[in-house]
Amino acid sequence: MSAFCFKKPLLTLAVALSGIAVQAHADSFNRIASYAVIHSLPEGVKRTQETSPEIIAASTDGNTVVYSDSPFGGLGFVDISDAAKPVSGGYIKLDGEPTAVAVFGNTAFAGVNTSESYTKPSGFLTAISMDTHTEMGRCDLGGQPDSVAVSKDGQYVAVAIENERDEDLNDGELPQLPAGWLTIVPLKNETLLCAEIKKVEMTGLAEIGVTDPEPEFVDFNSKNEIVVTLQENNHLAVVDAKSGRLINHFSAGSVVLSQVDTEKDKALLFTGSQTRLREPDSVKWIDDDRFVIANEGDFNGGARGFTIFHKDGRELFESGMAFEKEVIKAGHYPDKRSGKKGNEPEGLAVGTFGTDTYIFVLSERASVVGVYRDTGGTPEFVQLLPSGMAPESAVTIPGRNLLITANEKDLIEDKGPRAHVMIYSFEDKPAQYPQIVSDMTATGMPIGWGALSGLTADPKAAGILYAVNDSFYANQPTIFTIDANKAPAHITSAMSVMRDGKIAKKLDLEGIAADGTGGFWLSSEGKTSKQIPHAIHHVNSNGEIDRSIDFPAQLLIHERKYGAEGITMIGDNLWIAIQRPWKDDPKDQVKLLSYNLKTNSWGAVRYPLEASNNGWVGLSEIVEHGDNVYIIERDNQLGENAAVKRLYSVSIDQLKPAAIGSDLPVVKKTLVRDFMPDLLSLNGYVQDKIEGFTVDATGTGYAVTDNDGVDDSSGETLFFSTGKM
């Protein structure tokens, strides 16, 4: 969970949807707010400071949440009195690295790492007033703390003393002493009784790293029994808090997985198999006898799902690939993690809402939360929630019908999204997400998809659309068929783009246009220096490229890497939207290229761009409908910096191309829709890449965002209708 300050850092870290119904399930969780934790930092701290909510807990009254912030070294507080409008609740700096926090009554208990090195671990447990944010006491722990939990009756605090290993030493293999242990600190009236600390040894329990146990996560049931995961040791232990006696311990075991994507290869190929140790991270009691583990894995494992055990050691349920299949269906599968641990379930929460107990499984790399209803046997999958980037932990507040997640990844260094706390409400409303999913194939696996970058519509069938993926899946260029008449929309089939009977390579598909005869025109954004040509391609109804048209030399001498984005067909002319100005363009204008299929001649007009105070503004899509072409114009900003996410129209009678190299005419545009309300409709942060738009056979518009293949992205894909155009 936590990282040493000297360790290599973790990856630095609405408008109603007209025309599309949402899922018809009542009693669903929906996100109602997102809070960027940069707003909780103390006054005067620069916004360039990395900050991250990792482990989150809630006050007894449910009106405040507190989170541990390892990068900045403190605890942040968020006032959720109005859950839909969270505001800063303050911040307290600590003299060390907080690794976890738990709350009982009016006190937050945080483990703080002060280790000098991996071989000289140290830390303390501190008690912080939830009202005044002042320290009420502390206990020296003698080692590096990780997880912290408080018993339900407020009598004990359990701390996993991990004394984590150096992952760069001997490939991270165990043993690396000193060993870890479990610490139990008694409480009296929320006061730490440091003199009565119990140290529970874990050495000698596991077969893996027998001399070097590394306790990772702890949790209490109502009987004051503590369950402990030893992630690197692939082991579980149950301890009596009062006596410190070991009640039981057993291996977490392994799982045989099939139909797994095992390669980081810019393709979604679910054909592999694995036998993986579970190596669980977090653990939560479901009741006094059963607990659930998240099988994130480590160097030697990661079973991509979750498991329910009885405390006597019996395995009661194993999810296998079921959770990862739901991730794939929603377009959240992280291909870059295929060679490691897939979606990497890390955090867990359990809460009772109404008469049902729910298990929440947090996928660190897929950036989703799986919601399951406990049945006493096989859990029932309920829904998948969008979570922001890298959900690390969650807390339930059943009395207010709330679920809160802490999403640790803060990409300030890469100008990416900031880290967030996200709030969900349990309500008698349909689930709002996902807005597009894929169907199952004959193999029993969902169609893999992501990074949708362009849209076109079937010329005759209402609500039938086609999309392409971009270079994130360079080894799997695909045309997807989408049925937007369903709720959510369904990807019903996928057709590979082929060249000479093989998967076409060196394509960066950004636009697609139906040709009216069963084939498609595709625009490929190139980069000559990487031997990726700027080009347009025609594919037949089988996906085979039967014609390619390279950009002319007189255009390429002015090349920049931002090339062809959208493509549309008007009569005998193909029109291509270039994303950003090239060297021969004014900085506030960009080309709309034309290619005449009869005369094989090129031409262009220029399109005026909006100004931006942050980053750049460019084009993402062009589509013909009626007397106009519709063009997406967007900036490259997200979250609070996003400003330009718009749909403009240009009348077709203005599209009179001049020869390339001549004085190009500049068209006039008309604002049709500001997409900002649509991009805020699910109460997340604003996505930067709204990239696809089309109009179907009935005149209904549809738009889609590009989720970047879940790479440094929340993975969310927004797919929505703009109504009649």
The pLDDT tens digits of the residues spanning 491-520 come to 999 999 999 999 998 899 999 999 999 999
Q: Average of pLDDT values for 442-452?
A: 97
Q: Whose CA is closest to 318, among 392, 396, 379?
A: 379
- The bridge status of strand 356-363 relative to strand 368-373 is antiparallel
Structure tokens at 372: 């399951």
Q: Which CATH number fits domain 436-717: 2.30.30, 1.10.150, 2.120.10, 1.20.1630?
A: 2.120.10
Q: What is the DSSP string of 642-691?
A: ---EEEEEEEGGG--PBPTTS---B---EEEEE-HHHHTTTSSPPPS-EE
Q: Whose CA is closest to 296, among 237, 341, 242?
A: 341
Q: Look at residue 393 in the predicted model and tell me its pLDDT.
A: 98
Q: How far is the C-alpha of 573 from the C-alpha of 590, rounded, in Å?
A: 19
Q: How far is the C-alpha of 526 from the C-alpha of 471, rounded, in Å?
A: 10
Per-residue pLDDT at 700 exceeds 80: yes
Per-residue pLDDT at 202 exceeds 80: yes
Say yes or no: domain 28-427 is CATH 3.40.50.2300.
no
Three-class DSSP category at 622: strand
What does the CA dihedral 239, 241, 243, 247 come to, rounded to 10 degrees?
Answer: -20
Q: Identify the residue with better confidence: 189 or 416.
A: 189
**How many CB atoms sit inside 10 A of residue 721's CB?**
21
Is residue 279 very low, low, confident or very high in pLDDT (cuts 50, 70, 90)? Answer: very high
* Per-position b or e across 617-650, b if 16+ CB within 10 A of its CB: bbbbbbbbbeebbbbbbbbbbbbebbbbbbbbbb
Three-class DSSP category at 195: helix
Q: Average of pLDDT values for 566-590?
A: 97
- Using one digit for the tens of pLDDT, what is the confidence trace for 628-683? 999 999 999 999 999 999 999 999 999 999 999 999 999 999 999 999 999 999 99
* Per-position b or e across 246-274, b if 16+ CB within 10 A of its CB: beebbbbbbbebebbbbeebbbbbbeeeb
Per-residue pLDDT at 390 exceeds 60: yes
Per-residue pLDDT at 6 exceeds 80: no
Q: How far is the C-alpha of 398 from the C-alpha of 485, rounded, in Å?
A: 35
Structure tokens at 479: 């045309």
Q: Look at residue 620 in the predicted model and tell me its pLDDT.
A: 98
User: Percentage of the chain surpassing pLDDT 70?
Assistant: 96
Is residue 412 very low, low, confident or very high in pLDDT (cuts 50, 70, 90)? Answer: confident
* Per-position b or e across 166-205, b if 16+ CB within 10 A of its CB: ebeeeeeebbbebbbbbbbbbbeebebeeeebbebebeeb
Per-residue pLDDT at 278 exceeds 70: yes
Is residue 26 very low, low, confident or very high in pLDDT (cuts 50, 70, 90)? Answer: low
Is residue 18 very low, low, confident or very high in pLDDT (cuts 50, 70, 90)? Answer: very low
Q: Look at residue 9 in the predicted model and tell me its pLDDT.
A: 29
Q: Average of pLDDT values for 4-14?
A: 29
Q: Is 418:35 a contact under the CB 8 Å cutoff? A: no
Least confident of 135-144, 153-162, 413-422: 413-422
Q: Is 248:312 a contact under the CB 8 Å cutoff? A: yes
Structure tokens at 557: 């001498």
Q: Is the peptide bond before 533 cis (omega within 30 degrees of 0)?
A: no
Q: Is 260:282 a contact under the CB 8 Å cutoff? A: no
Q: How far is the C-alpha of 231 from the C-alpha of 349, rounded, in Å?
A: 18
Per-residue pLDDT at 8 exceeds 90: no
Residue with tokens 């009598």: 155
Least confident of 326-335, 362-371, 552-561: 552-561
Q: Is 313:697 a contact under the CB 8 Å cutoff? A: no
Q: How far is the C-alpha of 466 from the C-alpha of 513, rounded, in Å?
A: 9
Q: Whose CA is closest to 513, among 595, 602, 633?
A: 595
Q: Average of pLDDT values for 216-222?
A: 98
- What is the DSSP code (8-state) at residue 214? -
Q: How far, CA to CA in Å, does 502 sit from each of 117, 472, 480, 533?
A: 53, 19, 18, 18
Per-residue pLDDT at 119 exceeds 80: yes
- The bridge status of strand 191-192 relative to strand 181-188 is antiparallel
Give the residue extent of every domain in the chain.
28-427, 436-717
Q: How far is the C-alpha of 495 from the C-alpha of 480, rounded, in Å?
A: 6
Q: Look at residue 531 in the predicted model and tell me its pLDDT.
A: 80
- Using one digit for the tens of pLDDT, what is the confidence trace for 282-303? 999 999 999 999 999 998 899 9
Q: What is the DSSP string of 451-478?
A: -EEEEEE-SSSTTEEEEEE-GGGTTS-E
Task: Decide: pTM greater than 0.75.
Answer: yes
Which amino acid is residue 690, in one-letter code? Answer: I
Q: Is 231:283 a contact under the CB 8 Å cutoff? A: no
Q: Average of pLDDT values for 524-548?
A: 92
Average predicted confidence (pLDDT) for the chain: 94
Q: Average of pLDDT values for 139-155?
A: 98
- Using one digit for the tens of pLDDT, what is the confidence trace for 587-628? 999 999 999 999 999 999 999 999 988 899 999 999 999 999
Per-residue pLDDT at 325 exceeds 90: yes
Q: Which residues contact 667 (CB under 8 A, 6 or more apart)?
A: 592, 605, 606, 607, 608, 650, 654, 655
Is residue 7 very low, low, confident or very high in pLDDT (cuts 50, 70, 90)? Answer: very low
Q: How far is the C-alpha of 297 from the C-alpha of 172, rounded, in Å?
A: 13
